[in-house]
Amino acid sequence: MKPLLFTLKAEPDQRLDLSPLTPDRLVGRSAKEIESLSIGTTRKSVAVGDIFKVKLGDATSVRFDGGSDRFDLLGAKLLPGFEIHVEGDVGAQLGRAAKGGTITVAGDAGPYVASQSAGANIDIYGDAGDFLGAPLAGEIPGMSGGRVVVRGSVGARCGDRLRRGIIIVEGDAGEDLGARAIAGTIIVLGTAEGERIGYLNKRASIVLSEQRELGPTYVDCGAHNLGFAKLFAKSLAAESRGASRLLSGRLQRFAGDTAVFGKGEVLLPA
């Protein structure tokens, strides 16, 4: 059966809250009921029917034909067993607090992708903004489960306060990669900018594809053939061949950040 389809009529003139358009909230609704849902974020009232043409289908799978950087909170609180595909760009907080499911974006995403996500699988075929996997202001943990793969580059503070889960960036990463990470895994196949990689990292594993200088609070532990890394590489082969190849090789391990617990690590090609 074909998915439930939202076709963009025109570029919206305000930011939109698309959190009501997750599959679990749409099952059993008629096209008229869906079109009447409010998604505006300003004093000007905006309903789904003002922005999208709705074509009913299997609501366990939702497709957006056309995107915008004003599409905020798309896939927020998504539940396991459901999927969302966007043919275009999205805005801020993609997959916010998602419990599971699959989100695919054939374009770019804004800041705070997977913020407090607990189990969703998110694929972004373009670039992503700052604070991927990070908490919003006033929150303590960031992403706490699931997997995010960005085929392009990401902005600053990717993996900030990461609690659990896997982040793979096949392009470049901005400054302060893995800052304040609590745990989890971050893999960057391009270049990581700045001098504070893994700043205050407690227990996270940060894997980079090129040799570089790290801060003085990281301790060189030598080159290793890590058995777990090779097993991990096999599990990632279908997600990212580049990440799988990187983890399959000999790795130089740096323990840190010793300014905090010092139980984390940065792994570089040996």
The three-state DSSP-derived secondary structure of 76-116 is CCCCCCCEEEEECCCCCCCCCCCCCCEEEECCCECCCCCCC
- What is residue 224's three-state secondary structure? strand
Is the distance from CB of 138 to CB of 119 less than 8 angstroms? no
Which CATH architecture is the domain 67-262 placed in?
3 Solenoid (2.160)
- Closest alpha carbon to 59 in 93, 32, 30: 30
Question: What angle (nearest 5°) sits at the alpha carbon of residue 85, between those of residues 82 and 88?
Answer: 160
Q: What is the pLDDT of residue 1?
A: 77
Q: Which residue ranges does the chain devote to CATH 2.160.20.60?
A: 67-262
* 80-111 burial code (b ≥16 CB/10 A, e <16): eebbbbbebbbbbbbbbbbbbbbbbbbbbbbb
From first to last of the 270 residues of the chain, give the pLDDT tens digit. 799 999 999 999 999 999 999 999 999 999 999 999 999 999 889 999 999 999 999 989 999 999 999 999 999 999 999 999 999 999 999 999 999 999 999 999 999 999 999 999 999 999 999 999 999 999 999 999 999 999 999 999 999 999 999 999 999 999 999 999 999 999 999 999 999 999 999 999 999 999 999 999 999 999 999 989 999 999 999 999 999 999 999 999 999 999 998 899 999 999
Question: What is the dihedral sign for C-alpha 137, 142, 148, 151?
Answer: positive
Q: What is the pLDDT of residue 90?
A: 98
Q: What is the pLDDT of residue 261?
A: 86
What is the CA 42 to chain-centroid distance, rounded?
Answer: 27
d(CA 130, CA 263): 26
Residues present in the chain in total: 270
Q: What is the pLDDT of residue 122?
A: 98
Q: What is the pLDDT of residue 262?
A: 87
- Closest alpha carbon to 198 in 154, 115, 262: 262
